[in-house]
Amino acid sequence: MKRYAPAILLALALSLLVWLVVERYSGTGAASFGTFTSKNARVYFSPSGGCTEAVVNALAAAKTSIFVQAYSFTSAPIAKALVDAHKRGVKIQVILDKSNRTANYSSADFVAHAGIPTFIDDKHSIAHNKIILVDGHIVITGSFNFTKAAEEHNAENLLVIDDSALAERYIQNWEAHRQHSMPYEGR
């Protein structure tokens, strides 16, 4: 437990930070939250708060690796940014919830057909993680689903955290889910 104490404290501190921002601006509408930046984290709120743009920018800046876990994945700009990074030689792997196998539209097919290793986590009732890990030090997480609806209509939040120790813990968890996930070749 002591080994994970710094990551737990960071997560608690970031939760407090989000709560403080919400308390400060409650009742003013999500779009007015804008972006809040601290020493090593940025927070975004939707609708129309720049969450998709923040994800796309992080993917465009990736140099070595991107690991994705997503529940719902229909965002064309995020899928395109992943494929663009793949074409630049960035190592990318994607784990998605089993609902992406049968969804009317899922970016799972787009990324799988582009040659990005894509997996389905069907071990759980719902694989509800929403994370992107970039270059071993950026953690993108929050309630934000990687969808157009999340950007334009839903009340969501997105945290972009630059912390290697925290990213390592997320990568370990990502790998544990990858071990029991099944390859997805697309439809």
The catalytic site residues sit at 128, 130, 135
Q: How many percent of the chain have pLDDT more than 70?
A: 80
Q: What is the DSSP letter of 78?
A: H
Q: How many domains does the chain have?
A: 1
Q: How far apart are the first and last CA of the chain?
A: 43
pTM, two decimal places:
0.80
Whether the CB-CB separation of 129 and 140 falls below 8 Å is answered with: no
> 155-176, pLDDT tens digit by residue?
999 999 999 999 999 999 999 9
| Residue-level pLDDT at 5 | 64
pLDDT tops 60 at residue 37:
yes
Give the contacts of 4 (CB within 8 A, at least 6 positions apart): 169
CA-based radius of gyration for the chain: 16
The CATH number covering residue 103 comes to 3.30.870.10
Q: 154 lies in which domain range? A: 2-183
Which residue did the predictor score with more confidence, 184 or 7? Answer: 184
Q: For residue 128, which amino acid is it?
A: H
